[in-house]
Structure 1
Amino acid sequence: MSVRFGWLTACILLFTCIHPIYAADIVDRVVAVVNDDVITLSEVNQEGKALFKRIAEQVPPDRLEEALQQARQNVIEELIDKKILQQEARKYDLKVTDEEVDRALQRILERNNTTMEQFRSELAAVGMDEQQYRENLRSQILSSKLVNMEVRSKVIIPEEKIIDYYDTHYMERMGDGGYYLLQIGINVDPNDPDPERARAEARKKAEQIREQALAGEDFKELARKYSDLPSAADGGDIGVFKADEMAPAMREAVISLKPGEISELVETSSGFQIFKLLSSKQGQIVAKVPYDEVKEEIRNILYQQETKELFDNWLKKMRENAYIKIL
């Protein structure tokens, strides 16, 4: 089926499934009532234009009518929600200016690194024009203002929830036990004509870095900044080692540490190393990422989840209290 013929068929089936008498003479009509507002056939067609076009292009002919009927129902339900949001926004005299829409659209273009001309071309490809997109954007901004007023102000994420999420998603249980380590290495310059002086300078540098770590500076940042080892790119993260996998000097420095502690300097043939123990076999659990690094990220995830749940419940209540009739 060609795109053109498919789209024409989609339109005919869409109008036919609304009511048989309109197949020959299509006119606009009310398809749903939401309190004091109505949803018209033309609104449904405009709102679902891109969706109906995509269905016409992708769905086999023998399933097209059923798919369009379901799509039409989904669009009507979305428009009902939109009407309810608009009605609630009017109660609070909430409005969205053209300037707000312009700014939101500009942010979208910048985020997607595209021009207005490219954007319009992409809209046309899915059967939508700029004006329709702007109106949809206006509706989204209005909804966001309403959600800010009705829902988001009620969202509170306690520390306990953040910790629970962290324990579930960022902690890993180790069946055989092990030591999860960060590492900083300072190498002796092999080309220095005075090897003893070079080793002494490397030791002094390593000791200074260890003092900074003991003073509370971020170990990963110190590793990225000063370490001469390949693990520097990962903030010194070398993963989990069992005791028998470590070199003797490394094992001796690490096994007595408690999680969070910094080792003494470990001297090697190439220089000096410092280790930080994140988790040990005693707990049988290792942290994939330090808590402080992901705390705000987790808070945002939980905030979005909580906001969506509250919004869904709020909208469900609004629908239950509204007069809604689909014709």
Structure 2
Amino acid sequence: MSQNSRSASAYPARILVCAIFLASLVLPPSLVHAELVDKIVAVVNDEVITLSDVDAEGQEVFRKITATSPVDEVQEKLEMARAEILNTIIDKRLIAQKASALNITVSESEVEAAYNNVLQRNRISREQLLAKLESSGLSEAVYKTTLESQLLQNKLVGTDVHAKIVVTEDMIQKHYDENYTSNIEDGAYYLLQMGFAWQDSEATKTSPARQSANKLEAKKRAERIHNLVMSGQNFETLASKYSDLPSKVDGGDIGTFQLDEMAEYMRDAVSSLKSGEVSEIVETPAGYQFFKLLSAGEDAVIRKAAYVSVKDEIKEKLYDEELQKAYGQWVKDLKEKAYIQKL
């Protein structure tokens, strides 16, 4: 709760509260009763928030608390929920007021687009989302008003906040290491693989000239991509794009192997590597391959998912977290300049 007595916007709000109080002294009893039933619970600049506003916003939450909480805890939980919902409404009113002052609006089609984006991003149906909302004590209408408020927020903060948010490669890697990797203690070799096939059809087996040409072409491709890796380009990205092996979908990630589990050509290629090193190109019965050793020996690290497959997801998550921090500060600054009185 904040109250800035020096704010010019405070005076109309105070006049409004006083006017309502004075009206209760002179209005007919029936109107006074109506005012008491739907009483004012907060004032935000020149706008009031009533008990019915809180009840409408939190009706699903209140219903769930009443239905699931022990009788002796219901009242306390309802009061806590009302306080939280009131704070949420205050934030929304501040955002709406600021947007109105700047002539910023959000259309119904924008809200629907954001709603559908939530469904697509989470790969769920509308029915599944409604079920999740219901389990959280929220209605679809309340959820959409929250989306609208978020869209207003995004427009309001604009480049002033977004420009300050930076998600670096180091931040992404750190999050990946902390959440997508785990240690193994069996001395396995954890490998990335890239392969370039030359024995690609039955026809090439019966045509030595064609087979020789394919073999040469595969070797050249292997050498070209190997040079890119050695020059510092990302192994997983290149594997996803150029490798002919099934492991390309995982950025070349083939997991862990013991030396005695490897084919001879694979064992010869990786046995002398140190963590982070890339092997020479080796010939296989069907093409050419090379490997990158991610880790080996005691306490070797194994990954739950290939870095390349989750990098964008992590970046988005970190960006959202930084945006929420920046937004929290923005709202705090907005509140400090506003007149807010809880009654």
Q: Check whether TM > 0.5.
A: yes
Establish whether residue 274 from structure 1 lines up as the match of residue 294 from structure 2: no
d(CA) in 2 for partners of 1:159, 1:190: 41
Compared with structure 1, are the counterparts of its residues 190 and 31 closer, same or farther at alpha carbon in structure 2 (3 Å cutoff)? closer
Counterpart residue identity of residue 48, structure 1: G
CA positional deviation for 1:191 = 7.9
Aligned match for 2:268, one of 225, 228, 252? 252
Q: Match for 1:39 among 44, 49, 55?
A: 49
Matches within 5 A, 1:302-313: 302-313=318-329
Measured after TM superposition, the shift of residue 92 of structure 1 is 2.6
Deviation by residue 1:53-83 (Cα, 9 ceiling, x = unmatched): 2222222333222221221111111112222
* Aligned position for 2:223: 211
Map of 1:78 onto structure 2: 88
Amino acid at match of 2:46: D
C-alpha displacement of 1:165 = 3.6
Which residue does the alignment assign to 1:94?
Answer: 104
Amino acid at match of 1:241: F
Partner SS, residue 48 of structure 1: helix
Task: Describe the SS at the equivalent of 2:90.
Answer: helix
Q: Distance in 2 between matches of 1:127 and 1:173?
A: 40
Change (3 A) 1:29 1:256: same
Is 1:49 paired with 2:59?
Answer: yes
- 2:341 is the counterpart of 1:325: yes
Q: Distance in 1 between matches of 2:300 and 2:332?
A: 41
Q: Per the alignment, in what secondary structure is the counterpart of residue 228 of structure 2?
A: coil
Structure 1 position 322, deviation (Å): 3.6
Equivalenced residues, count: 295
CA apart distance, 1:186: 5.0
Q: Deviations over 1:165-185 (max 9, x none)?
A: 445445656656553323438
Q: Which has the higher contact order (CA 8 A, sep 6+)?
A: 2
The one-letter amino acid paired with 2:79 is: Q
SS in 1 for 2:280: coil
Report how far residue 297 of structure 1 moved.
Answer: 3.8
- Deviation of 1:27 (Å): 1.6
> Would you say the 8 A contact 1:165–1:298 is kept in 2?
yes
Q: Contact (CA 8 Å) 1:174, 1:286: kept in 2 or not?
A: yes
Provide the rounded CA distance (Å) in 2 between the counterparts of 1:169 and 1:155: 22
Matched AA of 2:291: K
Q: Structure 1: how far apart are the matches of 2:170 and 2:251?
A: 28
**Are the equivalent residues in 1 in contact too, given 2:44–2:339 (CA < 8 A)?**
yes
Cα shift at 1:219: 2.4
Residue pairs, 1:50-199, within 5 angstroms: 50-105=60-115, 107=117, 112-114=124-126, 128=139, 130=141, 134-169=144-179, 178-183=188-193, 184=195, 197=208
Q: 1:256 to 1:121 in 2, by over 3 A?
A: closer
State the one-letter code of the partner of 2:292: L
Supply the distance in 2 between the matched residues of 1:179 and 1:54 (Cα, whole angstroms).
52
In the superposition, relative to structure 1, how do residues 201 and 92 fare at CA in structure 2: closer, same or farther (>3 Å)? same
> Which letter does structure 2 place at the counterpart of 1:237?
D
SS of residue matched to 1:72: helix
Contact 1:182 1:220 in 2 (8 A): no
User: Is the 8 Å Cα contact of residues 253 and 263 (structure 1) preserved in structure 2?
Assistant: yes
Unaligned runs of 5+ in 2: 1-32, 230-237
Task: Write the distance in 1 (CA, Å) between the matches of 2:107 and 2:133.
Answer: 22
Does 143-152 or 292-301 show the bigger shift?
A: 292-301
8 A contact 2:259–2:271 mirrored in 1: yes
CA pair 238-187 structure 1, distance change in 2 beyond 3 A? farther
Q: 1:129 to 1:193 in 2, by over 3 A?
A: closer
Residue 264 (structure 1) aligned to one of 262, 281, 295: 281
Q: Which is further off, 45-54 or 152-161?
A: 152-161
Q: Tell me how far apart the structure 2 counterparts of residues 267 and 99 of structure 1 sit (CA, whole Å).
A: 57
Secondary structure of the residue aligned to 1:84 is helix
Using the TM superposition, give the Cα deviation of residue 123 of structure 1 relative to its aligned residue in structure 2, in angstroms: 8.5
Residue number among 24, 30, 49 corresponding to 2:40 in the alignment:
30
TM score, norm. by length of structure 2: 0.66
Offset from partner CA, 1:58-115 (integer Å, 9 cap, x none): 2233322222122111111111222222233234332223443344445456664449
Whole-Å Cα distance in 2 between the matches of residues 303 and 123 of structure 1? 24
Counterpart residue type for residue 319 of structure 1: K
Cα distance in 2 for partners of 1:109, 1:175 equals 41
CA contact under 8 A between 1:278 and 1:286: conserved in structure 2?
no
Q: 1:262 to 1:45 in 2, by over 3 A?
A: same
Classify 1:199/1:52 alpha carbon distance in 2 versus 1 (closer, same or farther; 3 Å): same
